[in-house]
Amino acid sequence: MSETLHLPESGTKQEVYAAILPQIEAVMAGVDDLVANLANIAAILKQAFDFHWVGFYRTAAPGLLMLGPFQGPLACVSIPFDKGVCGAAARLKETQIVDDVEAFPGHIACSSLSRSEIVVPLVHQGETKLVLDVDSDKLRDFDSIDRDWLERVVSLIETQHFAR
Ligand code: SME
């Protein structure tokens, strides 16, 4: 796999996701290191969509998320499961889409520019192992298309790193 990302020159976000998913798989192929793969996935999503912030928090202790590889502005280091959108996704074990972060009770404002957010948890054998967090500087920037594709990305990570 070359280290160049190939993106459609124009296209719907569905088409962009469809173009990057096989490239994410190719980049991960044969790479056993979780952090290396998370770092490249964050880079690919950032380059493809220019999201304000995209990255991972990993479960570091029961009920506690710790910052992992990301692209974007400086971020909060640790997030308890009972705080923020990331905590909600980790605790509820379900993808969270927040159209307006200011309307989400307990949202953690790492960046004042964030307006909407999607967080997808990786749940393996009933436990949240990590979350993929994507923040946008636009309101209502995420929908079921993002959910479907980002859940596929997380599922690739689960298959390669947890389902063994
Ligand atoms: N806004 C998130 C915190 C993480 S940062 O956005 C990078 C939350 O409420 O969980």
Q: pLDDT tens digits for 34-58?
A: 999 999 999 999 999 999 999 999 9
The CATH number assigned to the domain with range 13-161 reads 3.30.450.40
Structure token digits, residue 11: 């296209």
Q: Cα–Cα distance between 55 and 18 in angstroms, integer?
A: 20
Average pLDDT, the chain: 95
> What value does the CA radius of gyration of the chain take, rounded to a whole number of Å?
15
* pTM listed for this prediction: 0.96
Ligand 1 binding pocket includes 114 (Cβ within 6 Å) = yes
Ligand 1 binding pocket includes 141 (Cβ within 6 Å) = no
Q: Quote the pLDDT of residue 164.
A: 67
Residue nearest atom 6 in ligand 1 by C-alpha distance? 110
Q: pLDDT tens digits for 93-111?
A: 999 999 999 999 888 888 8
Tell me the average pLDDT across 139-147.
98
Instruction: Give how far Cα 47 sits from Cα of 42, 50, 61, Å.
Output: 9, 5, 31
